[in-house]
Amino acid sequence: MRINRYISSTGYCSRRAADHLVEAGDVMINGELATLGAKVKPGDRVTIRGQILAPPSENQRVYLLLNKPPGITCTSRRDVPGNIMDFIDYPTRVFTVGRLDRDSRGLILLTNDGMIANRIIRARYGHEKEYEVTCDRDISDDMIRKMRTGVPILNTVTQPCKAWKTSARTFRIVLTQGLNRQIRRMCGALNYKVLDLCRVRIMNLSIEGIKEGMWRKLTNDELTELHRLVCAKEDHE
């Protein structure tokens, strides 16, 4: 993690202010003067003006994977019947990273980590989300080709994506953008009706092993890889 983001994640100050501290020579990593862009590894000791900076507390951050059943609405509003917060009933306040519409099912990430959420949601970072889709009639090769190259919906054309048939009436699609009800609208524009839509993957996170309606916490390996993927492009900006 870059030193400015490390300092900011502890709540000490903003990233910009952290850069000023580094430039002023007030920050040290393991006893050595920090430089702009320097990386902090787990176990490193960071000091600011001689005072040890307590590392960000990962224990206070929550990362949950839910296999959402149909009929549950991805909203934090408790007055909405069937809202996801009442469904998951987690004691710490969390929010969904992105959405699945009420009729869709599958993988939802819930967290209280705003940085992770924003980096996953923002389409310009190109993070993958994979879906399995069942249609009302046999899927043609031409339909798959059009899904891959782009479909006119919502006064735009969808970005090129990966798509492939898995059976006569089912296919998988990997998106890096998130237009409103995108897959259903794409299929509708090509005269197909979606009978079932299930998200099976968000980046490195898979629905495998999570029964519908159940949730679990991310493993340490999953969280480490998620942080790596989320932060990789930021480190090059």
**C-alpha distances in Å from residue 227, one per residue of 101, 217, 236:** 26, 15, 15
Query: What integer pLDDT is reported at residue 59 of this predicted model?
Result: 47
Query: What integer pLDDT is reported at residue 177 of this predicted model?
Result: 87
Ranges of the chain whose pLDDT falls below 50: 59, 235-236
- C-alpha to C-alpha distance for 190 and 186, rounded to whole angstroms: 7
Pairing mode, strands 105-111 and 194-202:
parallel
**C-alpha distances in Å from residue 45, one per residue of 10, 19, 208:** 13, 18, 38
> Which tokens belong to 198?
């299930």
Query: What integer pLDDT is reported at residue 191 of this predicted model?
Result: 97
Q: What is the phi-psi region of residue 52: left when phi exceeds 0, alpha when psi lies from -120 to 50, beta otherwise?
A: beta
**Given the structure tokens 């299929």, which residue do they identify?**
187
- C-alpha to C-alpha distance for 132 and 201, rounded to whole angstroms: 10
Query: What integer pLDDT is reported at residue 185 of this predicted model?
Result: 97
pTM of the model: 0.73
158-167 pLDDT, tens per residue? 999 999 999 9
Residues marked as catalytic: 101
Domains recognised in the chain with CATH numbers: 3-56 (3.10.290.10), 60-123+203-232 (3.30.70.580), 128-202 (3.30.70.1560)
